[in-house]
Amino acid sequence: MTTICFVGAGSAEFTRQLLRDLLGYDDLGPLTLVLHDIDERRLRLAHDVARLTVDHHARQAEVRAEPDLRRALAGADFVVNCVSVGGHGATVTDFEVPARYGVRQTIADTLGVGGVFRALRTFPVLDAIADGMRAECPDAWLLNYTNPMAMNLQYLGARHRDVRALGLCHSVYWTVHDLSELVGVPLEEVTFHSAGVNHQAWVLRWERDGESLYPLLDERIAADPELRRRVRVDMYRRLGYYPTETSEHSSEYVAWYLHDDAEIERLRIPVGDYLGISAANLAEIEALEPLVAQGLYTEPEEEAAEYAPQVVHSLVTGLRRTIQVTVPNAGLMPDFAAGAGVEVPCVVDGDGPRPLVVDPLPPACAALNRQFLSVVDLTVRAAVEQSPELVRRALMVDPNTAATLSVEAIWDLADDMVLAHAERLPPALREALRP
């Protein structure tokens, strides 16, 4: 019997999507699904959703809700992490405090002020999960969905090297899916190769029958002025390779757009976009509760195409797949330092996951990733070395923050963020440091 533990299962909509994909496989054998969350109401909902999903798919699976993390982890083969520390309230803080200083953000979960502080409040939870896995399920795989992905996987590599972990994100899949749809080529006829860092990787090769599809994309862009009003298209036209996260995300990881009113208008950048998404996620959960209470199964509207069910299926059945993963760099990407959180292709089958070595990136792409990873590295070091100064230095080298604020204002903003999130941060990082 395969045991899968969902940590942060109270993210009920996402848990529901993962379960639908997982229970769609009819060759996995009996399953034990253990759901953990610190919010009792959300945990109850997740349990009932899981039970309904199991019944709908007529699968042999035991479902158990467990509020104690160590008991939830006991005997797990896979641990799926989708924790959001602080929930919607912390997300609002991540936007509102920087906005008072004039720092614009769109998603705020990967880099920048929001990404740095999301990481700092997530690291203690990663410590608890890793310690629990070491004690209760040392051979399990940790499948992490929680952002900021590169920071979280680099931190796990620095602090918990014995824990087997993969960072999973669907951004590359959906980028290739949408590009193929844009040029009218069926996805099943497409092959691709991507590498870089999570949310800022690059579609290095995108082909049908060995022929690049980029010329077709160039034709579409040339024919449609509205396409040229997207951040990713603008970056592609200037860099030669398409980035692998949405334009909303991509605008935050460079110094070129968000500080400039004209660029926001030209490229239609939705400042503060994730605030609405986060609020909508809460509303979805509120709407789901009465349906579940009536015992009604409802199919998730979005196609998930998530990697965690695929990893479980491949490791259990031996079916070979190639997916994208974030892992600490161990000679996989020669452009970047050892231990850096990098995103690369990975073969998965009965012998386990095997991340693939990739060739050096195009120079400009590598340069942008290095700047991205500089913020990642300083944030991880701040936590590992318990250094409040390094938190400020991470924000000083962040492209969007540095393009917007003076260094004095960056330090003041960091102090205000520390005060706003104090109870969620590691104790050593709660100190205000006004120079």
**What percentage of the chain reaches a pLDDT higher than 90?**
88
Q: What is the mean pLDDT of residues 404-432?
A: 95
For position 301, what pLDDT does the model report? 64
**347 in a structural domain:** yes
pTM of this structure: 0.96
Catalytic residues: 170
For position 433, what pLDDT does the model report? 76
**369 in a structural domain:** no
**342 in a structural domain:** yes
Q: What is the 3-state secondary structure (H, E, C) of the chain?
A: CEEEEEECCCCHHHHHHHHHHHHCCCCCCCEEEEEECCCHHHHHHHHHHHHHHHHHHCCCEEEEECCCHHHHHCCCCEEEECCCCCHHHHHHHHHHHHHHCCCCCCCCCCCHHHHHHHHHHHHHHHHHHHHHHHHHCCCCEEEECCCCHHHHHHHHHHHCCCCEEEECCCHHHHHHHHHHHHHCCCHHHEEEEEEEECCEEEEEEEEECCEECHHHHHHHHHHCCCHHHCHHHHHHHHHCCEECCCHHHHHCCCCCCCCCHHHHHHCCCCCCHHHHHHHHHHHHHHHHHHHHHCCCCCCCCCCCCCHHHHHHHHHHHCCCEEEEEEEECCCCCCCCCCCCEEEEEEEEECCEEEECCCCCCCHHHHHHHHHHHHHHHHHHHHHHCCCHHHHHHHHHHCHHHHHHCCHHHHHHHHHHHHHHHHHHCCHHHCCCCCC
For position 275, what pLDDT does the model report? 94
- Inform me whether the pLDDT recorded for 431 exceeds 70: yes
- Inform me whether the pLDDT recorded for 434 exceeds 80: no
Residues 229, 262 contacting (CB under 8 angstroms): no
Q: What is the mean pLDDT of residues 203-214?
A: 98
**303 in a structural domain:** yes
For position 435, what pLDDT does the model report? 58
CATH code of residue 145:
3.90.1820.10
Number of domains observed in the structure of the chain: 1
For position 303, what pLDDT does the model report? 62
What does the alpha-carbon distance between residue 136 and residue 128 come to, in Å, rounded to a whole number?
Answer: 12
What does the alpha-carbon distance between residue 193 and residue 244 come to, in Å, rounded to a whole number?
Answer: 11
Q: Which domain holds residue 79?
A: 2-86+106-168+297-355
**67 in a structural domain:** yes
Q: How sure is the predictor about 302, in pLDDT bands with cuts at 50, 70 and 90?
A: low
- 32-89: per-residue pLDDT in tens? 999 999 999 999 999 999 999 999 989 899 999 999 999 999 999 999 999 999 999 9
**110 in a structural domain:** yes
Q: What is the mean pLDDT of residues 119-145?
A: 98
Q: What is the mean pLDDT of residues 222-247?
A: 97
Mean pLDDT of the chain: 95
* The two three-digit tokens of residue 334, written as one number: 């020669």
For position 418, what pLDDT does the model report? 97
**396 in a structural domain:** no
- 311-369: per-residue pLDDT in tens? 999 999 999 999 999 999 999 999 999 999 999 999 999 999 999 999 999 999 999 99
State the residue for tokens 């104090």.
422
**79 in a structural domain:** yes
